[in-house]
Amino acid sequence: METPLTQHIVADRQPLSLKEYERVGGYESVRKVLKQMTPSEVTELVKASNLKGRGGAGFGTGVKWSFVPMDVPGPKYLVANADEMEPGTFKDRLLLEGNPHQLIEGMIVASYAIQANISYVFLRWAYKLAAHEITKAIQEAYDAGYLGENILGTGYTLDMHLHTGVGRYMCGEETALLNALEGKRANPRAKPPFPQVSGLYGRPTIVNNVETLCCLPHIVNKGAEWFKSISNSEDAGTKIYGISGRVKKPGVWELPMGVTVRELLEDYAGGMKDGLKFRGLLPGGASTDFMVEEHLDVKMDYASVAKAGSRMGTGTMIILDDKTCPVGFVLNLQHFFAQESCGFCTPCREGLPWVEKILLAMERGEGKPEHLNILDFHTQFLGPGNTFCALAPGAMEPLQSALKYFRADFERHITEKRCPWKK
């Protein structure tokens, strides 16, 4: 099994230095694209590879690049979205801390494809070690001539900067991220225009996830067909999957795209801890719908998980066991989302705290029968198309699916006037 993204990452070992990275083929893709390929050829190669964005949306990376107007004079920008704040998600941290040169190499490839001359790594504030390693790697790349003016004598110029966010979940939304990068409040922007046409400072901008960018050097070096061949699915490539919760071996693994939920849970995470039973999981972070036992043989790819009624999202599962209260589980998530709302639109600003208040009342034994109807209403009222961005609709996904699969647990909180899981 090939693991291109993590093959040079070893636990408890410093990431590869520039010289070590070069010895294992590092920056060969930069030499290839800058000296042998046109920007449009790079974009077409990525299109042919069927690389989909690993940040959660699963949109075609090459297709996204193709929306950038190449005949517009003036600067263009590339931004790596490293603001990994989705609860339960820690896949990008592995790449950022374990092999920062791989990210930088991918960013150079992407920047060249869209002819950007300025790039940014927008990093989550809490990733202190990642910030240290990225800063060091960027300086090494400058010193070696991979960044700066006239890279490798090709006439192409690219500058790269690290920008550390201040800890708002909203910055994971690409237009809010761009506002934050400009020094503004992290509110989402109206679309259209899309960032590919009018992004950072009103200029054409591509925002790609860390894992997405790290795939690029390998696609350039080994080809689109190779990238598709290492998958178990119509979705190409490998995927970094993760599992958190009360399993025997929580962790993160690079596996072929399309591995099943059961394989991840039982073969890699070792199954549930002794004395616990599986009840459900969120397949791609906190803003995805629950999947239950009937879904254990679903492939973890974008189409299969969607067909099962959820989203693959980041591919990092949060496991619910039979000794954890599902109402309390969802309350914890709703507290986070209510806290992280930017307050820009009324349904999100007012609706999320109201949902949290109702769930908290249920946990305290103060739930009423009409509360279930109010929660049902909010899953629709805060759903897609009713809010300015996807934060509130994402927050409703675990709630609406919990009401579907675990409704009896919500009802027990009301009829017994207590949380049945609390002694």
Q: Which domains does the chain have, with CATH numbers?
A: 18-229 (3.40.50.11540), 238-321 (3.10.20.600), 326-415 (1.20.1440.230)
First and final C-alpha spacing in the chain: 47
Q: In this structure, are residues 292 and 279 in contact, taking their beta carbons and an 8 Å threshold?
A: yes
pLDDT in tens, the chain (423 residues): 899 999 999 988 899 999 999 999 999 999 999 999 999 999 999 999 999 999 888 899 999 999 999 999 999 999 999 999 999 999 999 999 999 999 999 999 999 999 999 999 999 999 999 999 999 999 999 999 999 999 999 999 999 999 999 888 999 899 999 999 999 999 999 889 999 999 999 999 999 999 999 999 999 999 999 999 999 999 999 999 999 999 999 999 999 999 999 999 999 999 999 999 999 999 999 999 999 999 999 999 999 999 999 999 999 999 999 999 999 999 999 999 999 999 999 999 999 999 999 999 999 999 999 999 999 999 999 999 899 899 999 999 999 999 999 999 999 999 999 999 987
Residues 195 and 206: their CA atoms lie apart, in Å, by: 7
- Spatial neighbors of 180 by CB under 8 A, at least 6 apart, are 122, 165, 166, 168, 171, 186
Pairing, β 159-164 against β 118-123: parallel
- Pick from 335, 338, 339, 327: nearest CA to 364: 327
Q: In this structure, are residues 341 and 348 in contact, taking their beta carbons and an 8 Å threshold?
A: yes
Residues 4 and 219: their CA atoms lie apart, in Å, by: 10
Residues 63 and 47: their CA atoms lie apart, in Å, by: 6
Torsion of CA 299, 305, 308, 313, to 10 degrees: 150
Residues 347 and 236: their CA atoms lie apart, in Å, by: 37
Q: Helix, strand or coil for residue 387?
A: coil
Tell me the CA distances in angstroms from 420 to 106, 266, 327, 362, one per residue in order: 50, 28, 10, 11
